[in-house]
């Protein structure tokens, strides 16, 4: 198939690579230039999102935030300018569910289909083609794109209409953030009490407290490997979406709010670009104690 991929960062580059490995033709664009590794795999670099949309039948986007998606779709030389009836736009970014519904309506008005399909699994999942993909849109369009999703992920679910995929992703980010915070508190408590945090983590991995967060991010906290991964500033953006949505619906999300404040503390201490496991640094700063004596990254 003739595919387009826009946004070739930490996540997008390996995702596009899997589409290429699946035998598809990929037309690519990224603000910072298409990575040499993706070109070496066979991708064809384009000068604009509009050019990608003109050449491809299904166009994937993977960019940081709602304004970036809006610009890629509808800005100067955006995707909308290159579309013709019958094409499909698939946004795999993590953005506002409300804005997503508006974007979908505009793309539909051009005679094209739209799926919101945010992912979970981070850089590890992107490289391993094991991403969880949460999809919003029509069942017919989902069925057309599903074989391509299967090249990039394992757990692929059609949640509902447009915007439902993004709503599911916000829920996912609440769970992930609160689990990172819980693991950070637990390991900090153990280390401050004099226990070896690595052995505590090993023991907890065999009980009810086990989780992927404890497995992956607990290890990062102990080894001080805070290079992203998934940046704190991006997770902070996702929790903002959760809190904005909660306010609009009259919901109280107290632990989401407190975890967002810890992320703000990390940003204030130069940690916007840390992996989100670096959330533990806010707890350590407040305690004036570090889980591991190894210098932080």
Residues marked active site are found at 169
Whole-angstrom Cα distance, residue 19 to residue 161? 25
Tell me the CA distances in angstroms from 250 to 101, 244, 259, one per residue in order: 20, 10, 19
Q: Greatest CA span in the chain, whole angstroms?
A: 65
Whole-angstrom Cα distance, residue 17 to residue 98? 30
| 249: CB partners within 8 A, 6+ apart | none
Whole-angstrom Cα distance, residue 74 to residue 186? 46
Whole-angstrom Cα distance, residue 65 to residue 42? 27
**CA-based end-to-end distance of the chain:** 42
| 225: CB partners within 8 A, 6+ apart | 219, 275, 297
Whole-angstrom Cα distance, residue 91 to residue 83? 15
């Amino acid at each position: 198939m003739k595919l387009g991929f826009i946004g070739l960062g930490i996540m997008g580059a390996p995702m596009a690579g899997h589409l290429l490995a699946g035998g598809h033709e990929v037309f690519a664009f990224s603000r910072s230039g298409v990575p040499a590794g993706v070109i070496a795999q066979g991708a064809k670099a384009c000068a604009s999102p509009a050019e990608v949309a003109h050449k491809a039948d299904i166009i994937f986007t993977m960019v940081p935030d709602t304004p970036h998606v809006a610009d890629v779709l509808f800005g100067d030389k955006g995707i909308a300018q290159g579309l013709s009836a019958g094409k499909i736009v698939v946004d795999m970014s993590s953005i506002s569910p409300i804005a997503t519904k508006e974007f979908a309506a505009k793309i539909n008005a051009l005679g094209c289909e739209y799926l919101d399909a945010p992912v979970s699994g981070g850089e590890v999942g992107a490289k391993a083609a094991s991403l969880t993909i949460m999809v919003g849109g029509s069942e017919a369009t989902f069925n057309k794109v599903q074989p391509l999703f299967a090249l990039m992920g394992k757990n692929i679910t059609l949640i509902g209409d447009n915007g439902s995929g993004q709503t599911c992703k916000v829920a996912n980010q609440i769970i992930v953030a609160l689990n990172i915070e819980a693991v950070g508190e637990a390991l900090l408590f153990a280390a401050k009490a004099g226990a070896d945090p690595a052995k505590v983590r090993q023991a907890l991995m065999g009980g009810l407290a086990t989780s992927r967060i404890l497995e992956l991010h607990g290890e990062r906290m102990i080894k001080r490997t805070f290079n992203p991964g998934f940046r704190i500033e991006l997770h902070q953006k996702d929790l903002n979406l959760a809190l904005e949505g909660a306010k609009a619906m009259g919901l109280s999300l107290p632990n989401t709010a407190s975890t967002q404040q810890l992320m703000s503390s990390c940003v204030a201490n130069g940690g916007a670009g840390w992996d989100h496991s670096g959330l533990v640094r806010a707890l350590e700063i407040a305690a004036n104690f570090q889980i591991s004596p190894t210098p932080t990254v």
